[in-house]
């Protein structure tokens, strides 16, 4: 009777996957940094940019992200006798078994999550040969935490939490091929981690399930920078191959109503998407730099692909389904104005479309909508060191079948770099 609970459990982390990027200077310019890529974050934006750097440098950044979301439907608590329940697309996770009479829907419609995304990198110029860089950063992360109680003190208490993130270990090399052309390559080791837990308790029964897995994948990165014939203009491009991360972990489900206690190992494939983009920068004024990027993420290979080791299991069951996500395109625009030799001010804007089909948007699956983002910040440098601060605000909403979904993101960032 509860087989449905885990048909959809294999993929629920898409919303919020793509962060703004690495480094406050780049992000304060709307993330339009492919053709610029002239600081310690170049391995992330475009490894070819490393060939512009001199000497040895190190940088550190931390991004404090606050996400608030609203699902006008809250989370379902449907009956297993309802032919319209469960809805796999909505990620329905709670259910009731007659003769229990519980609300079919919970009340709490909002969530607020605070996450920290750190990054660190260092580069070194080997004169006459190349510039190399190593960095570690967390470019993506999805976190959702929700709890509610309906029916009073003797009613139903429910809790749902999910966290997914990927840590990237990057190594990159770049070389100046000619006075106009720079080329760079990189290797990303992708370490993915996923945790999910749901609980429901009443005076009569307890229900609980959880999954916890991690895995590794590998991604190639290729980039170029080319000085255009027009004075002080550059064209840049980058391609990241994407990867398949194979997560391995353990899952369980307990339900005292149905005398279920099932536990097993599992493997799960996550198709980390390929990304690519192209950008242009120019200096219409001596102190002003403008940049524009077009960036693409190919989500079309995303699947719900999970294999449990217990072939005879009744609740933890395998799935293999294409989720029909879409390829997304981001337009990013930014500018940097040098006030004097020490101070710089930055501003930017970018679009952030969701790849998720309407029918999959929900609190218990993927709470994500198309967003617009404004960015601003500044930096202060003094000979060998520099400190940057920035802020990003993103917002978006959507009404689907008379249900409103909303998402707001606030991101405060601080970075420090030093040149040896």
Whether the pLDDT of residue 4 is over 50: the answer is no
For the chain, counts of helices (H) and of strands (E): 2, 20
Q: What is the DSSP string of 139-196?
A: EEEEEEEEEEEESSTTSEEEEEEEEEEEEEEEEEEEEE-SSSEEEEEEEEEEEEEEEE
3-state class of 238 per DSSP?
strand
Mean pLDDT, residues 90-94 taken together = 86
Task: Give the separation between CA 62 and CA 311, rounded to whole angstroms.
Answer: 44
DSSP state of 234: E
Please write the tens of the pLDDT for every residue from 132-173.
999 999 877 777 889 999 876 568 999 999 888 889 999 999
Q: Tokens 């353990």 — which residue? A: 250
Give the H or E element holding residue 131: strand 130-150
Residue-wise burial string across 282-310, b where 16 or more C-beta atoms lie within 10 A, e elsewhere = beeeeeebbbbbbbbbbbeebbbbbebeb
pTM summary value: 0.89
Whether the pLDDT of residue 114 is over 90: the answer is no
Least confident range of 172-176, 285-289, 307-311, 374-378: 307-311
Mean pLDDT, residues 228-240 taken together = 92
The band of 18, judged by pLDDT with boundaries at 50, 70 and 90, is low
Least confident range of 207-221, 335-349, 352-366: 352-366
Question: Among 138, 144, 123, which residue's Cα sits nearest to residue 62?
Answer: 138
**Mean pLDDT score across all residues of the chain:** 89
Tokens of 59: 């940088």
Tokens of 194: 């996923």
**Which pLDDT score is estimated for 270?**
87
3-state helix, strand, coil in the chain (%, to 5): 5, 60, 30
Is residue 16 within 8 Å of residue 368, measured between CB atoms? Answer: yes
**Which pLDDT score is estimated for 153?**
58
Q: How far apart are the first and last CA of the chain?
A: 65
3-state class of 256 per DSSP?
coil
**Which pLDDT score is estimated for 312?**
64
Which residues are CB-contacts of 402 (< 8 A; sequence separation ≥ 6)? none
Mean pLDDT, residues 250-272 taken together = 91
Is residue 418 within 8 Å of residue 381, measured between CB atoms? Answer: no
Distance of CA 31 to the CA centre of its chain: 15
Is residue 222 within 8 Å of residue 245, measured between CB atoms? Answer: no
Please write the tens of the pLDDT for every residue from 380-394.
999 899 999 999 999
**Which pLDDT score is estimated for 152?**
66
Please write the tens of the pLDDT for every residue from 52-82.
999 999 999 999 989 999 999 999 998 888 8
Q: How many CA atoms lie within 13 A of 401 on its CB side?
A: 8
Mean pLDDT, residues 302-321 taken together = 81
Mean pLDDT, residues 187-216 taken together = 93
Cα dihedral 209, 214, 219, 225 sign:
positive
**Which pLDDT score is estimated for 419?**
94
Q: What is the DSSP string of 30-53?
A: TT--TTT--STTHHHH-GGGGGG-
Which residues are CB-contacts of 296 (< 8 A; sequence separation ≥ 6)? 275, 276, 277, 327, 328, 329, 330
Task: Give the separation between CA 42 and CA 224, rounded to whole angstroms.
Answer: 11
Q: Which structural domains are found in the chain, ordered by start?
A: 3-419 (2.40.160.60)
Whether the pLDDT of residue 5 is over 60: the answer is no
Task: Count CB neighbours of 212 within 10 A.
Answer: 16
């Amino acid at each position: 009777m509860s087989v449905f609970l885990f048909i959809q459990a294999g993929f629920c982390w898409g919303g919020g996957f793509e962060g703004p990027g690495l480094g406050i200077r780049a992000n304060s310019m709307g993330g339009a940094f492919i053709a610029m890529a002239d600081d310690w974050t170049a391995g992330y934006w475009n490894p070819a940019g490393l060939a512009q750097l001199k000497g040895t440098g190190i940088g550190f950044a931390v991004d404090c992200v606050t996400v608030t979301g609203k699902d006008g439907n809250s989370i379902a608590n449907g009956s297993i006798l309802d032919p319209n329940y469960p809805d796999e697309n909505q990620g329905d996770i709670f259910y009731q078994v007659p003769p229990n009479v519980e609300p079919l829907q919970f009340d709490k419609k909002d969530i607020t999550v605070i996450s920290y995304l750190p990054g660190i990198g260092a580069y070194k110029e080997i004169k006459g040969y190349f510039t190399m860089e190593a960095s570690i950063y967390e470019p993506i992360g999805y976190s959702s935490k929700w709890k509610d109680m309906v029916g009073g003190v003797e009613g139903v208490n429910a809790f749902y939490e999910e966290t997914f993130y990927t840590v990237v270990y990057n190594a990159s090399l770049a070389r100046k091929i000619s006075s106009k052309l720079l080329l760079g390559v990189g290797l990303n080791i992708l370490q993915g981690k996923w945790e999910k837990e749901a609980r429901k308790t009443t005076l009569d029964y307890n229900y609980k399930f959880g999954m916890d897995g991690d895995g590794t994948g590998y991604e190639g990165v290729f980039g170029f920078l080319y000085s255009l014939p027009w004075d002080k203009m550059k064209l840049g491009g980058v391609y990241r191959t994407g990867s398949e991360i194979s997560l391995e972990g353990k899952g369980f489900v307990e339900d005292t109503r149905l005398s279920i206690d099932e536990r097993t190992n599992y493997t799960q494939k996550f198709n980390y998407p390929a990304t690519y983009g192209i950008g242009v920068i120019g200096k219409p004024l001596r102190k002003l730099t403008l940049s524009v990027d077009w960036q693409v993420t190919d989500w079309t290979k995303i699947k719900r692909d999970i294999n449990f080791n217990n072939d005879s299991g009744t609740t933890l069951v395998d799935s293999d389904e294409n989720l029909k996500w879409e390829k997304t395109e981001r337009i990013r625009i930014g500018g940097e104005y040098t006030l004097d030799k020490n101070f710089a001010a930055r501003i930017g804007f970018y679009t952030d479309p969701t790849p998720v089909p309407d029918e999959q948007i929900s609190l218990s699956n993927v709470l994500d909508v198309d967003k617009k983002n404004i960015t601003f910040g500044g930096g202060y440098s003094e000979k060998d060191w520099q400190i940057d601060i920035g802020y990003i605000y993103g917002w978006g909403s959507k009404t689907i079948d008379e249900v409103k979904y909303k998402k707001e993101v606030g991101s405060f960032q601080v970075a420090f770099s030093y040149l040896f």
